Amino acid sequence: MDRKKKFDTLAVRLQTDRSKHREHSVPVFETSSYVFNSAEEARAVFAEEIPGNIYTRFGNPNTDELICKLCALEGAEDGVATASGMAAVYLSLTALLRPGDHILSARQIFGTTSLLFTQILPKWGISHSYADINNKEEWEENIMPATRLIYAETPSNPGLDLIDLKWLGKLARKNDLYLIIDNCFATPYLQRPIQFGADLVVHSTTKFIDGQGRTIGGAVLGNKEIMKEVRMLSKITGPVMSPHTAWLLSKSLETLTVRMERHCSNALALARHLEKVRDVAWVKYPFLPSHPQYHLARRQMKLGGGLVTFELKGGQKRAHRFINALQMMSITSNLGDARTTVTHPATTTHSKLSPAEKKMSGITDGLVRVSVGLEHIDDILADFDQAIRQPKK
C-alpha cells in the first residue's frame, strides 16, 4: 500500500485536506487571516508548537498545496511560493549571501537575473563574475576565496546551451559552495537538479508550470535547513504568491506531464522539419543530434524541452519578415504557453545587451526563439512554411 506514487500521479492527486466539506476540487482560500479557538491556541500556533494557519503572508492552504506538489515533483523537502519568478531568484540569493560574498554565475542567464547581479546586489557588497556555460575551465578559474554560491540555468535562454549538472554539483561540493539552479525551461518533468546536488531550485511558474500564460509567480525549493532562511526572509519581506494564483497553478500541475510531452514532441518535430528547409541557416534543439551537447541532453533531460531556436539566411531583416508573415503564432516575449509564441530576442528581450554580450550569449541578429505550443503539429508546420516562403514586399 505504501508504494511511492509516480510523478504524474502526484502532480494530479496531492491535495489539501478536504475532509470538512467533501468538495472534490480544493476551493480558493481567499482570506487574509485565520481564527483561533482560544488565546492559548493562538499562542501555541504562533510558537509553532502545534501546526495551524495564521496569516496569508506566512502561508495559506492553496500555496501549501502548490508547494507540497512542487516539492514532491522536484524531490525537495520544503519550499516557498512567490509573487514572481524574479522574487524567487531574489529571495534565494539574499537568503544565503552576506556583504563581501561573491557569486559565480553562468553568463547565459535570464536578462533580469543578470540585472539583479549587476545593478542591485553590488549595493550590498555582493559581487559576481560570469563563466561561459560551455567552458568548464572558466568555471574552475573563477572560483575565488569570497565565492559562496554558483548560479545557472539549463537549457539557457535563448541559446539552448546546457550545463552538465552532475559536474556542476561536484564542483560546488568540492569547493563548499551553494548551488542554485533555475529550472524554469526544463520543469521537474524533464530534469530534477536536486538529484545532482543543487541546494535550491528556483522557478518562474509563469512559464510551463502555468502553461496558459495567465499568471505571474515563482517558487524556491530545497532542503529544510536552507529553506528556513528563505522562508523567514519571505515572511519578513512579503513577496508572496496570492491564494488564487496558487490555486490555478496547482490545477495546472495536474496536466504538466501531458503538456510537456506534447510541447516536446511538437518542438522536436518542428526542429527536424526546419533542418530540412533550404532557407534555414541553422536550428538548435537539445534532442537534435546536431546539437553540440546532444549526448549530455539525452543523459540529463527526459525530453528536449519546448523551445527551439533557428535562424533564416538574411539576418534581422529576414527574421522580422518571417515573424510578420506568421498567421497563427503569437508574437510575444512569454514562453511555456499552450499557444506557440515567437520572439526575436536581439530586438526585444535581449535588446539591452551590448553587441559583445549578445555575441557571448550566442544571440545573433537573425535568431528566432520559438516556444512550441500544443496546437496540432501539421498546423504549426504549415504556418512556418508559408511564412518562410513569403516573398519580399
Ligand X SMILES: *Cc1c(COP(=O)(O)O)cnc(C)c1O
108 vs 257, beta carbon nearer ligand X: 108
Stretch that binds ligand X, among 78-86, 231-239, 286-294, 357-365 (CB under 6 A): 78-86
- Residue 86 binding ligand X, by CB under 6 A: yes
| 84 touches ligand X (CB under 6 A) | yes
Q: C-beta of 242: minimal distance to ligand X in Å?
A: 14
Cell of 25: 476540487
x-or-dash string of contact with ligand X, 218-247, rule CB under 6 A: x-----------------------------
Q: What angle do CA 105, 111, 115 make, to 5 degrees?
A: 75
CB of 108 to ligand X, least distance (A): 10
CB 197 within 8 A of CB 173: yes
Residues numbered 134-173 forming contacts with ligand X, rule: CB under 6 A: 153, 157
The residue with its CB nearest to ligand X is: 85
Nearer to ligand X, 204 or 257 (CB): 204
Q: Which is nearer to ligand X, 210 or 365 (CB)?
A: 210
Q: Give the residue with the Cβ less far from ligand X, 182 or 199.
A: 182
Residues in the chain: 393
- As measured in angstroms, the least distance from the Cβ of 159 to ligand X is 12
- Candidates 67, 103, 184, 303; binder of ligand X (CB under 6 A) is 184
Separation in Å, CA 258 to CA 191, 263, 265 = 15, 9, 11
* Nearest residue (CB) to ligand X, 111 versus 314: 111
Q: Identify which of residues 160 and 312 has a Cβ nearer to ligand X in the complex.
A: 160
Angle of helix 315-325 relative to helix 377-389, nearest 10 degrees? 130
**Nearer Cβ to ligand X (186/303):** 186
Shortest spacing between CB 151 and ligand X, in angstroms: 11
Q: Which part of the chain contacts ligand X (CB under 6 A), choosing from 158-166, 179-187, 189-197, 238-246?
A: 179-187
Query: Is 369 a residue that touches ligand X (CB under 6 A)?
Result: no
Cα separation, 44 vs 262, whole angstroms: 48
Binding mask 197-216 for ligand X (x = CB under 6 A): -------x-xx--------x
- Binding residues for ligand X, total number by CB under 6 A: 15
**Min CB(334)–ligand X separation in Å:** 8
- Judged by CB, which is closer to ligand X: 79, or 218? 218
Touching ligand X, residues 252-311 (CB under 6 A): none
Q: In this complex, which beta carbon is closest to ligand X, that of residue 204 or of residue 266?
A: 204
User: What is the contact surface with ligand X in residues (CB under 6 A)?
Assistant: 84-86, 110, 113, 153, 157, 182, 184-185, 204, 206-207, 216, 218
